[in-house]
């Protein structure tokens, strides 16, 4: 694969295009901060006006993205052979990705974009209240409206090659992703995952769960997870950590990254995992090229690649024995004697407990992708019109019984657990599974390049891995598409083998299974 060479000279059209895109992204960053504030600090009484603010910004952003001058500038740039001589140069990448965004944006009517922003802003509030009350009926009218608008979006975005409505929406998160490909991916993963989980559940010597049952002060947990986030490389001079109902990571650019986490008295592992997960997103955001803020070249590749960074820090690092060799002795500094009786085997085993469960964000590595499968099937059915929003809870509950063998007791533990659909993020969920696959394959390559990675973790040294990711993944911005980046870094196309090999080689010994 070719690599970028010296940057070609720019042109008047290119300079005008990039100035326009940067100014547009200033508005997008402002909308992002308002969304972060709504989730973390905004008083409840501000919801109605905030929805108007976000709708107005969405309208302005869309108008700028669809400005006819953008099309003219792009045409001039695309006719400039000198400008695009190297397809991997920042200029060529910016033109390519602005063209893609422009073609997508010009297919969406401004009134639909504005209405969608207003509807989802209110829907997020309805979702939060419905989740607290475990009452899907309260959220269902909002979801019905979001699904209806999403179908309209899909109609606008579809081309002659679009096989079904879900594809058009998924392409906005993971370019090129289709329902058929995702279905094939799950068909390949499911048998091996089910076999693995079956072996683990049949173990006569499962690991202790004591680590996950200890009640620990929330303030101490927060101090602890902030410490770990900083140690693995999240820069608190360029980011912050707050609390929210559903952990997320956002912000405006590489020097202002906002992430959140959540806490439970008896689930330190959940708080740590969530924080390391969001820190992975944050480290990726902070590692993007600062010279290209506001340009595609300074943006992330795709949600699948973004998720690979968060899952790698959460799982390949945070659930490794080497990590806990460093981390376990530090628990006393934050929790006193509360965990003194637990050995490293207790803690390492506890953090890797496999147990079919109800909640996706609390799921273990072996069952996590089955949670994603349920959501994928729900979305696909909703977009096809095969499932009405009113029938969603029953569909969800049946699938959880079929795939995970668990009974769903209420809506809060069922179809109301995720914020994504209230945000209109239909087509998003499979990027989590793609992230798991990319994480395992990239980590294998990092391990090969950094031969003593486990020893480094055991000493609390995480900067070599962070630097490797900065250089091999983050610094490229959008230079490569997701699959191309994977092959460029690892030398191989994306495969399920590294993920399954990783899960089996770690979990079977923990459970004492051959």
- At 262-319, the pLDDT tens digits run 999 998 999 999 999 999 999 999 999 999 999 999 999 999 999 999 999 999 999 9
Choosing from 39, 278, 307, 377, the catalytic residue is: 278
Instruction: Provide mean pLDDT across the span 352-370.
Output: 93
Match 């770690």 to its residue by tokens. Answer: 506
Looking at the whole model, is its pTM more than 0.85? Answer: yes
Hey, where are the domains in the chain?
Answer: 12-170, 179-510
H-assigned helices in 212-314: 218-232, 268-287, 303-311
Gyration radius of the chain's alpha carbons: 23
Instruction: Kindly report, residue by residue over 79-105, the tens digit of the pLDDT.
Output: 999 999 999 999 999 999 999 999 998
User: In this predicted structure, what is the pLDDT of residue 2?
Assistant: 44
Q: Name the nearest CA neighbour of 379 among 191, 169, 107.
A: 169
What per-residue confidence (pLDDT) applies to 8? 55
Architecture of domain 179-510: Orthogonal Bundle (1.10)
Residue with tokens 């239909």: 426
Write down the residue that tokens 């906005």 correspond to.
172
DSSP readout, 113-169? HHHHHHHHHHHHHHHHHHHHHT-HHHHHHHHHHHHHHHHHHHHHH--TT--SHHHHH
Look up 278 and say whether it is catalytic. yes
Contact 424, 120 (CB under 8 A): yes
Q: How confident is the model over 321-347, as pLDDT tens digits?
A: 999 999 999 999 999 999 999 999 999
Buried-exposed string 205-239: b where 16+ CB fall within 10 A, e elsewhere: ebbeeebbebebeeebbbebbbebbebbbbeeebb
CA atoms in the 13 A half-sphere facing the CB of 397:
12
Q: What pLDDT score was predicted for residue 98?
A: 97
């Amino acid at each position: 694969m070719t690599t970028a060479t010296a940057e070609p000279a720019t042109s008047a059209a290119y300079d005008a295009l990039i100035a326009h895109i940067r100014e547009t992204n200033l508005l997008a960053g402002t909308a992002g901060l308002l969304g972060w504030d709504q989730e973390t600090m905004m008083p409840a009484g501000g919801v109605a006006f905030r929805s108007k603010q976000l709708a107005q910004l969405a309208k302005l952003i869309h108008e700028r993205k669809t400005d006819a001058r953008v099309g003219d500038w792009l045409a001039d740039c695309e006719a400039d052979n000198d400008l695009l001589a190297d397809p991997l140069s920042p200029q060529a990448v910016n033109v390519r990705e602005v063209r893609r965004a422009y073609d997508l944006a010009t297919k969406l009517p401004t009134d639909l974009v504005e209405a969608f922003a207003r509807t989802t802003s209110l829907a997020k509030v309805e979702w939060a209240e419905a989740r607290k009350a475990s009452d899907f009926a309260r959220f269902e009218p909002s979801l019905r409206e979001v699904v209806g608008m999403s179908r309209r979006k899909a109609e606008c975005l579809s081309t002659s090659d679009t096989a079904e409505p879900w594809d058009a929406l998924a392409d906005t998160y993971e370019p090129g992703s289709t329902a058929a490909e995702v279905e094939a991916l799950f068909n390949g993963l499911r048998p091996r995952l089910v076999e693995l989980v079956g072996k683990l559940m049949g173990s006569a010597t499962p690991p202790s769960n004591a680590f996950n049952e200890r009640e620990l002060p929330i303030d101490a947990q927060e101090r602890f997870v902030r410490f770990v986030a900083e140690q693995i490389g999240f820069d608190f001079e360029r980011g912050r950590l707050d609390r929210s109902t559903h952990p997320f990571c956002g912000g405006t650019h590489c020097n202002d990254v906002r992430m959140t986490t959540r806490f439970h008295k008896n689930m330190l592992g959940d708080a740590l995992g969530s924080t390391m997960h969001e820190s992975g997103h944050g480290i990726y955001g902070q590692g993007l090229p600062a010279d290209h803020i506001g340009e595609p070249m300074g943006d992330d590749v795709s949600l699948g690649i973004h998720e690979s960074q968060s899952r790698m820090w959460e799982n390949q690092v945070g659930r490794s024995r080497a990590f806990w060799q460093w981390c376990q002795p530090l628990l006393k500094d934050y929790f006193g004697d509360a965990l003194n009786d637990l050995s490293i085997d207790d803690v390492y085993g506890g953090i890797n407990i496999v147990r079919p469960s109800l909640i996706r964000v609390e799921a273990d590595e072996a069952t996590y992708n089955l949670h994603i499968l349920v959501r994928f099937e729900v979305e696909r059915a909703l977009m096809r019109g095969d499932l009405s929003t009113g029938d969603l809870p029953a569909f969800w509950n049946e699938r959880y019984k079929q795939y995970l063998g668990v009974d769903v007791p209420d809506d809060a533990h069922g179809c109301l657990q995720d914020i994504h659909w209230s945000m209109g993020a239909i087509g998003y969920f499979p990027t989590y599974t793609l992230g798991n696959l990319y994480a395992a394959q990239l980590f294998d390559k990092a391990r090969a390049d950094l031969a003593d990675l486990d020893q480094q973790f055991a000493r609390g040294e995480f900067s070599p891995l962070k630097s490797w990711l900065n250089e091999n993944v983050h610094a490229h911005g959008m230079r490569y598409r997701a699959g191309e980046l994977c092959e460029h870094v690892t030398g191989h196309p994306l495969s399920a083998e590294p993920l399954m090999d990783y899960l089996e080689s770690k979990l079977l010994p923990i459970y004492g299974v051959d």
